[in-house]
Each structure stands twice: as structure tokens, then as C-alpha cells.
A and B are shown apart, each in its own frame.
Chain A
């Protein structure tokens, strides 16, 4: 649905024109969807200067600074002025993610939160009250020390194989939540530099290390396979906690992770509770992390028209209108519910709470392009139901606690080093102290990186966990 937003947006404009007798049509000729966002970005990067890239581009907000700096995407600040109401309807953090140096370069398309899922049946057996848990986490009373306590208890009493499961292969984005949860920073707005917050990073690595040493998290977590190990372990109830994303909710309903079948919405609801990512320790705040996706417009949109020079402004304005239409509340709401991503605007969130609308959608009684309808039919059938809508409504408060990873071109290099360090502490190849030194050494070894990263703080003395 992500890509179809634009198809649908164009169709709606065409319809409006038709009603008003305007004899111009927008035709969307090429739609691409690849699941690797990095690949899509690189393709856009090299093809944009050639005039071969698409007119619209939906990708992570992290690419905005680079693309804007190179002049590859359109500055839509002026067009957006006429649409103040619409802009205000988006969540402010998300609009902020679309800005670069005070100018607006895109409209949010979707976002997500990364909850901590708790297995309800296990929690009950060990006496962890999941009803009050989200509130306790929110208030910062339930911290990672408690997560450790309960994980250990569940494991010691033999109810689960693992206490905690998390993503594989990369520290970004799920695991860097630890940095924020321990009150750390990754980016300094004043200097525009990345920050290596030594105390927070140390505490994060210590937690991972401790969990792995006590057998609560697999030592080889970073090498696990998503479909064969991570998801089955979670849905089959072999772990008490897991750090996941909102999209897990529907993914479990779509893919056959549970003994060869997928879960029903009821099962998901009955088996899993979810909270914010807890605060590191008392005095810290709970967090979550989002990576909004953003509609961007190629600065060369319309260039293939021979009269481009005369029509340039019209083309640009038109392109803006298309992404405005692609952000229509219903399009956004449909995308949210079928992919378990969070809506980016309040109007869409409202629709998700509207049961009649959901019913209509389930029956495909909505104003959509026929091909789009055809293509999303199966998935709508599987995912559109009150339980999933309720879930989205329930987690949307998390956006108030959300953090964004820095949109800094050097951030991926830093995140890579973190990945390495996490792997090493989990395996026990390094103690947390050694791993932090390793990270610092790695940063300093690269002149480019050390120029862009400020190293702050020291390893805290006498800090204990749990």
C-alpha cells in the first residue's frame, strides 16, 4: 500500500479534474517496490542526476539531509503554506523529521513504534501483572532492572527457554533505544555532530552482556534467523520478553511462524501485552524509536516534457498536490492497518477508531482504484478487524515518547560499530568495559568518523546491574 498511495492520489486528482471538466490526466507509469530501502535510496541517488529517477520517492527520513543538500529533492515549504491545516494534522515530531535547515522537503507517509512485548501466560505464572505494566513502564517505575528480574525468574522457574529476544544483525534501530533509555544522546543539535555517550553505551552493553551471561538471551542472538528462529521463539512462547516493532502484530497473523501456521488476531491479542521500551533505571524515561517514511518529490519532476521550462512550476505544484492526496486520511489509515504501522496524521487515527469505516473497508466498500483494490484484497481480508485497529490506537500514545535516530550521513558507520560491540559482548568475547574501549578505538581510528563524533562521559564507576 505504501507505493499505491501515489497511484491513488493521482487518480483522485484526475477524478476531481474530470468533474470540473479539466482535460489533463496524470498517469503513473512505473511503480517500484523493493524491500531494501538502502538499495532504493542508492538507485535514486545515482539516477536522479541522470533524470532517470521516478518523480516521487518514498523512503526513510534519514536521507532527507543528503538529498536536500545535493538538491535532488524539491523544497515544498512554499506550497505547504497554503495547506496549513493539513500540515497541522500531522504529528509534529514527524513533520520535524521532514525538515532540513528549516525547510520542508516531504510529507510523512508512515511510522512505527518499537514496543516491548510481554508474553501474558508466562507473566501470569510468575506473578507479573501485565495489566498495570504499561502504566508502570510509562511512569518509569518498571525499568530494565525489573525486566532482568522477571526474565530471570521466568527462566529459573522453567517456564521459558529465554528471558529476552531481540533483533539480529544490527544494533540500529531497535537496540539503540537502550542509549535513549539510559538517558543518553546520539546527536548534538548545537554542534551538528554525532555523540558517543559513553555512560549510556556502557550501560546498554552491560545489560546485553549480563543477560547473555545468565543465559537469558542467546549468545548468538545477532546471527539468528528471522523466520526460522526469532519469530517462532516469540510466538511459541519460549521467551517472556522481546523487543520488537508494531508491525510484528500483523506479521504474526500473516506468516506461518507458529508450528507451521499463522496466529489469529484473537490469539495475538490474548498472548501478548506490550509496553514502551522501559527506562534504563530509576530516574530515566521510557522510550520508543520511530523511523518515519516520507514522500519526497524529485526536483526534476516533469523534466521529460519538452516544454518543461515553461511548465516547471506547474509540474512541481502538481507533484505536491499528488503527495497531498496520497496523504488522504483513508489512504493513510488503510496502509496503517494492513501493515501495522502507525498513522501519521490525527484524521487517519480517527478513522481507525471508526468501526463503520472498518466494516466498509473489510467489505472493500471504499473509494479506491480497481487495481489497487484487487491487489490489497487478500491482505485486507486478513488484517482488517477491530482487534488490529484497537492495537494501533493503543500504541499510538507511544509516539509521544518517540526518538529518532540521527539523520546524519556518518550515523550508519557508527551504528555498525555498535553492532560489532553488541555481538562481542553477547558472545562473551569482550566485557562491557572492553567493548566500550573497542567502540572508542574504532571511532578514533577513522579520521572521518572521529571528526563527526563527539565522545562524552566516562564509564561510570560502581555502577551495578541489576
Chain B
């Protein structure tokens, strides 16, 4: 939080200190992961670090298993993952901002029941629904091979996105609720339509909420395994890592490198999304 001159330095330091102490195990654990990706064996204590770039070189050349000696195109795999993650994020954000608004502002019959129903749906984990989703997929699958590949992306995004919908709608409703009705009212009095009000007035105000929803959806798409493995013809990073971690034969530092590579895009997404969505946001009441 910026621009508060009255805040005390001392309390800020105290807060930082507390959080740092709480974060120590995590900082340690994740630094060791990154460090391991540059080492010949997993770094778990000071003795085991022996620097090498081999893991990263092998990763970019797509050489995963020593006895398999087959190469994969890691960039293509990353791109696939990105398509799914961005697709899910976009879809979920749009649907949930609309639906969240509706549930927050419009008084239709069964509104409360919709909310509860959404909650109930969350109690069904994705893995339980997958058989049904699978049968639908089987029914709608096009026969043409190229189309099939495209459709598999499309379907994964829709199906995986749907899993995030209840959670996102609930979240967005909360954000819309927090905005005083007067804001909207003033717009409507000025003669703007409901949609315009939603777009021009409400959306900018719920930016923090949009950020949260987009972030969660992106992460969900980025790390999904079960849906991707079942429907998507191509591989994604998550399925790729998961299926190579079987511990007897895999070279763990290479997995560490893949894991680090895997973390980067999400971090970038977080930073960019935060900048775009929170930039210029002053949050004040105007008028």
C-alpha cells in the first residue's frame, strides 16, 4: 500500500521479519530445487552440490531418459501448456465476471439456490466427473485427424474451465457485492445501459477480483494432469514431468530443471497480470 506517510517504519520491519521467518522453510526448499537443477545430484545439504549445466542442456535438447534416448521438443510442449492455461484463464474470467455480476446484482428466482448448487458442485472433484465428460467427448469427437487435434485443445479448455467456474463465480460475486450500489446507480441515471455500466464502471472496480480469478484459472490450466492426459492428444509440461518422475530410473536433477522451467511462466503471468490489472488503480470514490 502506497502513499501513507503516517505508517511507522518499525511496524513494517516487524511484519517483514515475521513473514520472512515463516517463509524460511519454503525459501530453503525452493532454492534447493533451483540449485539442484544446476547440480549433478539433488542438493539436500551443503555437501551434495556439484555444479553442472548438463541438466539444462539436456532439457532444452529434450533428452529426458538415459536409456530411452528419445528426444522431445520441450518448446512445443511448453507452448501446448500455455495454450491450455491461457485458454482456461480467458474463458473462466469472462464467464465468471458476467455470472458473478448477475448473481450479485440481479434478483432472479432461485438465485440463492444457484449459489448453493455451485458450492455443491465443487464437492465433486474433477476426477469423479471425468467419465461423464469422457463419454460426451467420445460422442462429439470429429473424425478428421487435424480437426481432432484442434478439438482436443478446445475441449480440454472448456472442460477444465468448467471445473473452475463455480469457484470463480463465487469469488466474483463477493467482489461485486463489495461495490456500493450508488456507483452503478449514478451510471444508470446518466442513461447508460446495464451492459455499459458493467463494462465501464463495474469492471475497473473489480480488477483485483479479476486478477485473482484469472490467476487461479491460469494455474489450474497450467498444472492440470488428469483432463489433459485423458483428452489432449499432445503432451503438456505437467503430464510430461509427472510421467517422467517415476523415481527408479529418472535423473532427479533433470526433473528439478524441468520443474524450475515449469514455474517460470506462471511467475511471469502473475507479474504481468498484476501490473496490467492493478496499474492506475487508485480505488477512491470519485463523485
Chain B residues numbered 229-283 whose CB sits less than 8 Å from any CB in chain A: 229-230, 233, 235, 239-240, 242-252
Knowing A376-B69, A379-B66 touch, does A50 contact B251 (C-beta < 8 A)?
Answer: no
A390 within 8 A of B: no
**Docked pose: A31 CA to B72 CA in angstroms:** 8
Task: Please tell me if the beta carbons of B68 and A36 are within 8 angstroms of each other in the complex.
Answer: no
Knowing A43-B229, A50-B138 touch, does A33 contact B145 (C-beta < 8 A)?
Answer: no
Chain A residues numbered 270-326 whose CB sits less than 8 Å from any CB in chain B: 304
Q: Which residues of A contact B145 (CB under 8 A)?
A: 304
Q: Which of B41, B64, B245, B248 makes the CB contact (< 8 A) with A33?
A: B64
Q: Which residues of A contact B137 (CB under 8 A)?
A: 50
A228 within 8 A of B: yes
B40 within 8 A of A: yes
Q: Which residues of B contact A68 (CB under 8 A)?
A: none
Knowing A46-B134, A247-B67, A375-B69 touch, does A226 contact B229 (C-beta < 8 A)?
Answer: no
A369 to chain B, nearest CB (A): 13
**Docked pose: A47 CA to B230 CA in angstroms:** 7
Task: Please tell me if the beta carbons of B247 and A169 are within 8 angstroms of each other in the complex.
Answer: yes
Q: Which of B69, B134, B152, B243 makes the CB contact (< 8 A) with A1?
A: B69
Task: Please tell me if the beta carbons of A52 and B44 are within 8 angstroms of each other in the complex.
Answer: no
B71 within 8 A of A: yes
B141 within 8 A of A: yes
**Docked pose: A51 CA to B233 CA in angstroms:** 10
Q: Which residues of A contact B178 (CB under 8 A)?
A: none
- A371 to B, closest residue via Cβ: B71
B19 within 8 A of A: no
Chain B residues numbered 113-128 whose CB sits less than 8 Å from any CB in chain A: none
Q: Which residues of B contact A4 (CB under 8 A)?
A: 69-70
**Docked pose: A403 CA to B141 CA in angstroms:** 43
- B63 to A, closest residue via Cβ: A375
Q: Which residues of A contact B235 (CB under 8 A)?
A: 32
Knowing A227-B252, A304-B145, A375-B69 touch, does A36 contact B244 (C-beta < 8 A)?
Answer: yes
Q: Which residues of B contact A192 (CB under 8 A)?
A: none
Q: Which residues of A contact B42 (CB under 8 A)?
A: 225, 227-228
Task: Please tell me if the beta carbons of A33 and B68 are within 8 angstroms of each other in the complex.
Answer: yes
**Docked pose: A350 CA to B237 CA in angstroms:** 42
B144 to chain A, nearest CB (A): 9
Task: Please tell me if the beta carbons of A260 and B40 are within 8 angstroms of each other in the complex.
Answer: yes
Chain A residues numbered 35-64 whose CB sits less than 8 Å from any CB in chain B: 35-40, 42-43, 46-47, 49-52
Q: Which residues of A contact B250 (CB under 8 A)?
A: 35
Task: Please tell me if the beta carbons of A35 and B41 are within 8 angstroms of each other in the complex.
Answer: no
Contact-residue size bin, chain A (C-beta under 8 Å from the other chain): 35 or more
Task: Please tell me if the beta carbons of B70 and A375 are within 8 angstroms of each other in the complex.
Answer: yes
- B248 to A, closest residue via Cβ: A226
Q: Which of B41, B138, B141, B245 makes the CB contact (< 8 A) with A228?
A: B41
Chain A residues numbered 192-243 whose CB sits less than 8 Å from any CB in chain B: 225-228
Mask, A1-43, CB within 8 Å of B = 1, is: 1111000000000000000000000000001111111111011
A255 within 8 A of B: yes
Q: Which residues of B contact A251 (CB under 8 A)?
A: 66
Q: Which residues of B contact A227 (CB under 8 A)?
A: 41-42, 251-252
A451 to chain B, nearest CB (A): 24
**Docked pose: A375 CA to B66 CA in angstroms:** 11
A338 within 8 A of B: yes
**Docked pose: A51 CA to B144 CA in angstroms:** 11
Q: Which of B152, B242, B249 makes the CB contact (< 8 A) with A39?
A: B242
A436 to chain B, nearest CB (A): 27
A71 to chain B, nearest CB (A): 16
B186 within 8 A of A: no
Knowing A35-B68, A39-B242 touch, does A46 contact B230 (C-beta < 8 A)?
Answer: yes
Q: Which residues of A contact B229 (CB under 8 A)?
A: 39, 42-43, 46
Task: Please tell me if the beta carbons of B50 and A39 are within 8 angstroms of each other in the complex.
Answer: no
A458 within 8 A of B: no
A1 to chain B, nearest CB (A): 6
Task: Please tell me if the beta carbons of B40 and A375 are within 8 angstroms of each other in the complex.
Answer: no
B65 within 8 A of A: yes
B13 to chain A, nearest CB (A): 39
B147 to chain A, nearest CB (A): 11
- A232 to B, closest residue via Cβ: B41
B48 within 8 A of A: yes
B148 within 8 A of A: yes
Knowing A35-B249, A52-B148, A228-B42 touch, does A254 contact B66 (C-beta < 8 A)?
Answer: yes
Q: Which residues of A contact B44 (CB under 8 A)?
A: 228
Nearest first, the 6 A-B pairs at minimum CB distance are A34-B243, A36-B246, A33-B68, A33-B70, A39-B243, A339-B67
Q: A35-B64, A339-B67 given; name 11 further pairs at CB < 8 Å.
A: A3-B68, A35-B243, A35-B249, A38-B246, A39-B243, A49-B138, A51-B148, A169-B247, A226-B247, A228-B41, A338-B67
- Could you list which residues of chain A lie within 8 angstroms of chain B, going by C-beta atoms? 1-4, 31-40, 42-43, 46-47, 49-52, 167, 169, 225-228, 247, 251, 254-256, 260, 304, 338-339, 375-376, 379
List, sorted by A's number, 5 A–B pairs whose CB atoms are closer than 8 Å. Answer: A1-B69, A35-B64, A228-B42, A247-B67, A338-B69
